[in-house]
Chains A and B, each alone.
Chain A
Amino acid sequence: MNGSGKTPKRDYLDEVRKLWYKFSLNKMSVVGLGIVALVLIVSVFQPLVAPYPTHIGAVVDFKNANRGPCADYWLGTDTVGRDIMSRIFYAYRGAFTMGLGVLAATVPLGSVLGMMAGYWKGRWFSTFIMRMTDIFLALPPMILALCVCSILRPTLFNSLLAMCVAWWPWYTRLAFGMTTSLRNEMYVKSAELLGASKPHILFREILPNCTGSILTKATLDMGWVILTGATLSFVGLGEQPPLPALGTMVSDGAKYLPAQWWLSIFPALAIMIIVLGFNLMGDGVKDMLSGEE
């Protein structure tokens, strides 16, 4: 940082090892990481690992329709004979796209807005930004996303967009809270006295101290974004048929309860598994970045 240009070269391998040690202290977070990695692999390599990779589209195979879980179709087939497992694998792609897309857009934007509002607290635009977040936070994110989604054409991209509208204020509020307490720290004051530029203070002095909390929240939020995305697709706002979406599969399958229970129960479990994975992993990330030795 300032004036200490001659710090000894950091041993990155050692740091990674230290971080991994802290992460793996809690065995459940390793399980979470495993779940997320596994799901990521099956969704990315869906054409290779799925037993019937073509069943994601408008394929019809009435001979094998409505079959329960069996050796050929581990999770059964739907009303037109498509393999549920292959469809779930593909639907995970949409879930990941949703999660990564929403967070990639909202985390940087929300955090920078929050840091600026926090650093210049008291100025008119800080007040303006924070009042805006209050307004957006006055509705449950799902309702806001539903609202925005309902006026757009139902596509995966549009539901992603709607989720972004609902999600950024959470990061703004988090970064705002942290920055308002950090801006009076000695090292920030010294940087100011030394005449450091505002971007330097914001991004080199304040931001590194916020990344832990922001990353932790982002990991946990992956789960929530996927869950909310599934909720949107449950009412038909998301990836459109014939392509599969987790929520759509649950709502379509619910019509055939209880006889064809596998139609809705397996996609429902699929949602639970991925959200659980990110939650467990988030706890590990929290331990890893909390800064306690």
Chain B
Amino acid sequence: MLKKILTKIGVYLLVLLGLSILVFIIARVIPGDPARQALGPRVSEETVQNLRREMNLDKPLVTQYLYWLKGAVYLDLGNSLQTRRPVITDIRQYLPATLEIVLLSALFMIIGGILLGIVSTKYTGKWLDGVIRVLSYLGIVSPSFLWAVLFMLLFGYLFPVLPTTGRISQSMAAPSRIITGMYTIDYLLQGNIAGYLDAIRHIILPAVALMLGGMAQAARLTRGNMVENYLKDYIQAEQAYGVTENRLLFKYLLKPSLIPTITVMAMDIAAIFGNAFLVENIFNYPGLSRYGLSAMLNKDINAISGVVMILGLVFIVLNILSDLIVAWLDPRVRLMGGSEE
């Protein structure tokens, strides 16, 4: 088992290395001279040449890549063209804000999706099941930016109960000390309840807008698997023994039915990160995704590479986590080292 996990991690590291090559290639095919772009048009040719040498742009591509990779390993991703700061400083500032939203969103998605799936299974064929199925269809087919726009309309103008821009209200002071960078947690650690509530109120709408699609999908999958497993022999045997319906649902039916859902949910959380690119923009929320999007629209190469590498890293961590959870849930994987892929 341990050996299997280590091999997996090795494969994922290779994937990360491959991703870095891909990102490097994408970044280098952009027409234009990065040194000239960094300095602006009014600088002499000599200064540009100096910077080119400094940035190793005069070396062959492979050498350039190796320099870039060496920098990346030491968390030196170069400077951002927009903010004129090291990209890693920007990431340190913006990543916690996005993590905060994504984690809350993922939590909502997991709990909501599984619960809706169970309710739907319990009332299979009844009206509640029908309502949940129609709603989950709607959730699946609507992009999250659409929910974001809708929420803006609903909560920003018609029923202004929740704030729709920024991380905290303007009257609220930022946490006195930045510990994790996630405002909700920092406020809590400092015992600032008012601040905590304010920060939570600001991330609820984007978090919900982000997770509706994933939740709907999780609900559908959970329901599908549970209904399918319901017909299996072992469930009928349990029923014959007189196991109560609820115990059957939660103890015997849910666990095996969750395994395919978990793998999909890990991908959904990665998709939440992706969709955050738009949703943060709509809610004017200063997170990594908004930073990444503006980097992409402004061809800020170093920032794009940095953000993409971070996203790749997040994806890999999510995959390892979902592998571990599946292994924990599935005795076939846990005891026998897993089936052949």
Contact = CB atoms under 8 A, between A and B. Distances in A.
Interface string B277-315: 110011000000000010011010000100010011001
Interface in A127-148: 131-132, 134-136, 138-143, 146-148
A146 to B, nearest CB: 6
B305 to A, nearest CB: 9
A146 B14 CA distance: 23
B149 A138 contact: no
A264 B149 CA distance: 8
A223 interface: yes
A139 B311 contact: yes
B192 interface: no
Grouping DSSP codes into helix (H, G, I), strand (E, B) and loop, the B interface class, with mixed when no group exceeds half, is helix
Contact of B308 (A142, A147, A227): A147
Given A135-B19, A138-B312, A258 B157 contact: yes
Contacts of A134: 11, 15, 18
Interface stretch (B92-100, B103-111, B135-143, B230-238): B135-143
B18 A143 contact: no
Contacts of B337: none
A250 B149 contact: yes
Given A235-B278, A254-B152, A279-B140, A131 B304 contact: no
Contacts of B308: 139, 143, 147
Residue from B143, B156, B277, B311 whose CB has the most chain A CB atoms within 10 Å: B143
Interface in A258-272: 258, 261, 264-265, 268, 271-272
Given A131-B18, A250-B145, A279-B140, A138 B315 contact: yes
B183 interface: no
Interface string A98-138: 00000000000000000000000000000000011011101
A231 interface: yes
B91 interface: no
A139 B143 contact: no
Nearest to A261: B153
A276 interface: yes
Interface range on chain B (Cβ under 8 Å from partner):
35 or more
A60 to B, nearest CB: 26
B336 interface: no
B161 interface: no
Contacts of A149: 296
A250 B281 CA distance: 14
Interface in A240-293: 250-251, 254, 257-258, 261, 264-265, 268, 271-272, 275-276, 279-280
B158 A258 contact: yes
A162 to B, nearest CB: 10
A16 interface: no
B335 interface: no
A234 interface: yes
Interface in A197-253: 223, 227, 230-231, 234-236, 250-251
B270 interface: yes
Nearest to A177: B341
Residue from A134, A135, A223 whose CB has the most chain B CB atoms within 10 Å: A135
B275 interface: yes
Contacts of A272: 138, 141-142, 146
A87 B213 CA distance: 27
A137 to B, nearest CB: 9
A231 B296 contact: no
A146 B297 CA distance: 9
A276 B153 contact: no
Q: Which 8 A-B pairs have the closest CB atoms?
A: A140-B274, A135-B18, A150-B296, A258-B157, A275-B141, A276-B141, A142-B274, A151-B30
11 contacts: A139-B312, A147-B26, A147-B296, A150-B299, A151-B29, A235-B281, A254-B149, A258-B156, A258-B158, A268-B149, A268-B150
